[in-house]
Structure 1
């Protein structure tokens, strides 16, 4: 049995404080409203919100952007610039980045008899399912859809995958037999009962109940624990650890719609999502969902299909201080190839309201006939893994097209850690000033690329004046490309400002700023969530900081 490393006393205390903060945010309330979250956002007393009216018009911006907290606590996670929640004023340019496909894709393809059809086609892809890193076994683990079964694969590096011979169906990697639609597996690192460490919500098909199973190893699934009411296909679930609830992302459709190819009536949704949540995953299956979100007129229409887009699926995960959502956007249906679904990114700070400022495909289909992802791309349960200084996104790809034997396989796309959005400057120096924030740590870190330029930071008091010990002139300039770069001042650390409302002002020239955070120790541990995990992390949050680089280097893996 491996010994667990005991974190330093200071890290233990800070981790305890963050846990208390999250627990308090889950319980705090007042007569004027509902719970106050870890980031200062107060939920309405009616939760989840009701009365959402879906139409072809975009939903309003999340209420926390229209009315942010007076003071934003930033003790949980890296602070990302995916919206203007943290920004009081800026002259920097916001850039949205796409994930990049791995050159060696697909990383998993059908090559076993139980994955292949007689014509040579077949399937080995996550249809949500799940891809996680298990810190106990130090393995990447993938559950995926084969032919009439759920299968299991493992990897030591996330690139080369093994299909172990198991005892469920001896000699195969089948872990659950049964025709199915999209289903979800979740590795729950916060579960206290080892027999329930893995959760599997099995979908036997459209308009049938989904069935919940538990497992201690992700291979041997116990008897059904609970089931939902009848539900449409492509229904999934995920964990919102900020609020300690399970969220059911339920596919719904407008009654009476027969053909998805016909012209939509104004304001009509065909595929959209409804929302339900529960702290108990089994009890929550008796859901009473509320309207949630759909595609709208800002989602691009393909000129070769000229069909109004729809929301096919939404998978999500907690990453650092936000929920990251991958929206599978349906753009129509060809007669002779797969529906060209693509993945668009969105972000939420309360777990319900989404901000989708860029509708460009975050992970697109290929335009090249015959490619593994020419037909259709969709997300995996768990959404993303954190591997060194890169985020890994595993996606399904479908290749069926005229003259091409259709295979469903698995590919990998990656992006810089925190790299969804950057705040950029060129030759002319730009600035970014945050809203008032508070923290308990003592060291400021940034994820930035200023190799060709420079970044300096000053700290402002409540009246907007630079605090002398933390003025720009006292800041040691940052000239580096680093996903965890400490920013320091000549004669002070931030511990003297602990608990005080302050603003940070960043000065940037020839560079990109992706995130900032305040950590209690020199490692830069953020105590934010790390998606579906990754090498070096011991649990669902970052308690090790730069210590993960001892365990892996994404650039070496990818090249």
Structure 2
């Protein structure tokens, strides 16, 4: 696991603030707010989505809610992650960002079935696709592309590591669930996004598929389908031409909207944003029909990492952006391309250098990207299965106990024939893809750390309806205590540091206790002050239950969760 130093963070913050001078937002949030108020107190502007007059690569995206946070921040939804200063008024702790660790069993899904060879190459990997824990039958499920951008397959697992490829009745004897639209085409599907819709009113629409497919129009079309079980899908319910093939869709449950993350050319590969509460209408009324419905959104930026092989490198571009809800915010998987070009890849038998970086959003549109290191990366090692072109899964992570499971795809070095058989041998360079797993501590994106001398973290004014405080903490050789302050910064008895039971050990779900619960201060603005020695603080939250249910979102779900949010906590 890699960490980002305090010095690196300081330099990042300086660059972010410098970017303000290069950005002229239209209708910037410095004026009056009259738009939608979000779950966390952020008030959106009248013009939504907002349009910005900025060069896509020369300046970082401005994040208005970090510059002007709400006076009082409600924290009833989810664990409160410490990835930025939104919640923090002052601190002497040091923030550390963490990256994922690769599972030793990788690749956990590899192309080894005859139907996973198609269009001249092996492929068993999500090109976004979807990964879910389906509580209806207690199985992990992965929708991935089989054959080179050929058709959609479904794998299942009991533990998220060992995967099966069941035979379904769509293409007899195979795990294919969506067949190609144009069987004669060399490519019939490019990108897919598969979502389990817990709020679907019609059971037949429980699963939703968005795919960029060929054979419908004279160019790539975004196709929308639904399914009751993720196996049997409707024909295209709607299809609409789009600007670019690597286009995805995600759901923002905080605002209950579906978002089209559309590939466009805007200073290179970039994204355009449009939204709608109805997924079908999102496609039907797409930006190609009415450009006013969307805005140019985000692109690769000048401080994104460069290709380590200088002669092959290009300026960073945003190849794809997938996003998913986790606890109290949206997690963005930014796939950053740094070359080579397609022509160079073909001539030199290379893969594109694509790597995954993370971003965090509290309004679903503006992204804070404080850590510009690779969260999941290509290796550029000729013998490694993820040599190049690493891509994210559309639906974020799975919550498995105290860990987060991130699935991703990677492609091997062209010409090696890593998955070849005597009769099926890959031709070309953009193929030979498999699926990997990377693991992170629950809430483990960033921690606020203290050494032997200790330190404090004081929050901004917060409000909540619960009565039980919990933390995610590693204090194996130290301890954490907390106190509650009023709006003027005075300690509220009996919630003092001295009355607080010390929290010790490495726990992703630890109760912070005084003699009384927090019901006395529920509903009024208060601050928490955490006193930490020899430890790392990852998150805190206030729960209405003693079990510590956060009521935050759990991305693709996980064992024990019956719906999209944590209503369980940890049984007592």
Aligned residue number for residue 145 of structure 2: 145
Separation in 1 of the partners of 2:405 and 2:306? 28
Q: 1:56 to 1:32 in 2, by over 3 A?
A: closer
For the Cα contact (< 8 Å) 2:33–2:44, is it kept in 1?
A: no
Q: 2:261 aligns with which of 249, 260, 285?
A: 249
Q: 1:478 aligns with which of 499, 503, 514?
A: 503
Helix, strand or coil for the counterpart of 1:191? coil
Aligned residue number for residue 8 of structure 2: none
Separation in 2 of the partners of 1:354 and 1:447? 24
Separation in 2 of the partners of 1:273 and 1:63? 20
Helix, strand or coil for the counterpart of 1:283? helix
| Counterpart check, 1:283 vs 2:281 | yes
Q: How does 1:393-408 map to 2 (within 5 A)?
A: 393-405=406-418, 407-408=432-433
Helix, strand or coil for the counterpart of 1:38? coil
Q: 1:166 to 1:91 in 2, by over 3 A?
A: same
Q: 2:171 aligns with which of 151, 169, 172?
A: 169
Aligned residue number for residue 452 of structure 2: 427
Separation in 1 of the partners of 2:545 and 2:254? 23
For the Cα contact (< 8 Å) 1:370–1:404, is it kept in 2?
A: no
* Alignment gaps of 5+ in structure 2: 1-30, 181-187, 287-292, 419-430
| Counterpart check, 1:497 vs 2:510 | no
Q: 1:270 aligns with which of 241, 245, 268?
A: 268
For the Cα contact (< 8 Å) 1:129–1:144, is it kept in 2?
A: yes
* Alignment gaps of 5+ in structure 1: 1-29, 255-268, 551-559
Q: 2:536 aligns with which of 512, 525, 548?
A: 512
Aligned residue number for residue 128 of structure 2: 128
Could you tell which deviates more after superposition, 327-336 or 386-395? 327-336
Separation in 2 of the partners of 1:473 and 1:434? 19
Helix, strand or coil for the counterpart of 1:114? helix
Task: Write the deviation string for residues 359-402 of structure 1: whole angstroms up to 9, x where unpaired.
Answer: 00011112422211111211012111100000000000100235
Q: 1:425 to 1:367 in 2, by over 3 A?
A: farther
Aligned residue number for residue 20 of structure 1: none
For the Cα contact (< 8 Å) 1:373–1:398, is it kept in 2?
A: yes
Helix, strand or coil for the counterpart of 1:450? strand
Separation in 1 of the partners of 2:99 and 2:237? 40
Separation in 1 of the partners of 2:545 and 2:396? 29
CA drift at 1:230: 3.0
Q: How does 1:36-51 map to 2 (within 5 A)?
A: 36-51=37-52
| Counterpart check, 1:154 vs 2:156 | yes
* Alignment length (residue pairs): 503
CA drift at 1:289: 1.9
Aligned residue number for residue 304 of structure 2: 299
Separation in 1 of the partners of 2:41 and 2:564? 22
Helix, strand or coil for the counterpart of 1:131? strand
Q: 1:471 to 1:299 in 2, by over 3 A?
A: same
Helix, strand or coil for the counterpart of 2:565? coil
For the Cα contact (< 8 Å) 1:50–1:290, is it kept in 2?
A: yes
| Counterpart check, 1:463 vs 2:488 | yes
Aligned residue number for residue 220 of structure 1: 232
Helix, strand or coil for the counterpart of 2:453? coil
Helix, strand or coil for the counterpart of 1:383? strand
Separation in 1 of the partners of 2:384 and 2:544? 47
Aligned residue number for residue 317 of structure 2: 310
Q: How does 1:412-423 map to 2 (within 5 A)?
A: 412-423=437-448
CA drift at 1:60: 4.2
For the Cα contact (< 8 Å) 1:323–1:349, is it kept in 2?
A: yes
Aligned residue number for residue 89 of structure 1: 90
Task: Write the deviation string for residues 189-236 of structure 1: whole angstroms up to 9, x where unpaired.
Answer: 111210111111121149422111111111111122112233311100
Q: 1:379 aligns with which of 361, 380, 392?
A: 392
Q: How does 1:432-443 map to 2 (within 5 A)?
A: 432-443=457-468
| Counterpart check, 1:180 vs 2:181 | no
| Counterpart check, 1:522 vs 2:535 | no
For the Cα contact (< 8 Å) 2:272–2:296, is it kept in 1?
A: yes
CA drift at 1:509: 1.0
For the Cα contact (< 8 Å) 1:253–1:271, is it kept in 2?
A: yes
Aligned residue number for residue 451 of structure 1: 476
CA drift at 1:32: 4.2
